Chain A
Amino acid sequence: MLQGYAVVGLYLLLSFALLGVVLLLWWFLRPKKPNPLKLETYECGVQTVGDAWVQFRAQYYIFALIFVLFDVEAVFLFPWAVAYNQLGLYAVIEMALFLLLLLGGLLYAWRKGALEWA
């Protein structure tokens, strides 16, 4: 079984190595003439103001949060889906309960106005 992963590992190593080779190659090939204009974030257009660390509204955290929780929920679906054949109706009921609770939570948050984007 592990042989299968060895191939993946080799592939990973190879792709990293390739990346290194390409970077090195360009390091030798490219001309090095830095000037202030080149170091600007945008070469043309409006001058940038402040730095790139702008803070955005905490409201958006809620979306990231709900994404994480439903990501976890999705992970539960994988073993359920493959075990479904052996278990039948019980599995359906159990998963339905699981999903209903979370769906209820989402509807609740929505209804309470937590998901307004603006």
Chain B
Amino acid sequence: MVTLTHYLALSALLFGIGAVGFLIRRNALIIFMCVELMLNAAGLAFVAASRYRGLLEGQLTVFFVLTVAAAEVAVGLALMVAIFRTKRTTNVDELSGLRG
């Protein structure tokens, strides 16, 4: 019997992998993909909870999350294109114009 816990554990795992990837990768594009993976994991948790509780809200939330993700991608990639024009790189270590 597959329970909600199964799904939540899977989504936690995917989320964790994404979060670790966010911290260790240096290519801004891949960092951003890791965020997409995390969003996806959150979506899975929402839909699973929605199914096991017999409520539609979770699915609608994921629908909105997907929309927001599309807008985020449009904006994020535009920023990277803009940076690439001036810096010719998407490696975050080489973006040292600002110190931490």
Which chain A residues have a beta carbon within 8 Å of chain B's beta carbons?
Answer: 58, 61, 65, 68-69, 71-72, 75-76
Which residue on chain A has the smallest CB distance to residue B73?
A68
Which residues of the partner chain B approach A72 to less than 8 Å between Cβ atoms?
Answer: 66-67, 70-71
Considering the complex, give the chain B residue whose CB is closest to the CB of A62.
B78
Give every chain B residue within 8 A of A58 (Cβ-Cβ). Answer: 81, 84-85
Q: Is the beta-carbon distance between A68 and B70 smaller than 8 angstroms?
A: yes
Q: Is the interface of B mostly helix, strand, loop or mixed?
A: helix
- Which residues of chain B are near A69, meaning CB under 8 Å? 70-71, 74
Closest chain A residue to B68 by CB distance? A72
- Given A61-B77, A72-B71, A75-B67, 17 further pairs, Cβ under 8 A: A58-B81, A58-B84, A58-B85, A61-B78, A61-B81, A65-B74, A65-B77, A65-B78, A68-B70, A68-B73, A68-B74, A69-B70, A69-B71, A71-B70, A72-B66, A72-B67, A72-B70
Which residues 53-83 of B sit at the A interface, judged by CB distance below 8 A? 66-67, 70-71, 73-74, 77-78, 81
Which residues of chain B are within 8 angstroms of A76 by Cβ–Cβ distance? 67
Interface size class of B (residues with CB under 8 A): 10 to 19
User: In the complex, A58 Cα to B73 Cα: how many Å?
Assistant: 16
Shortest distance between the CB of A27 and any CB in chain B (Å): 34
CB distance from A50 to the nearest CB of B (A): 17
Q: How far is the CA of A15 from the CA of B1 in the complex (A)?
A: 29
Residues of B within 8 A of A71 (CB): 70
Cα distance A33–B79 in the bound complex, in angstroms: 48
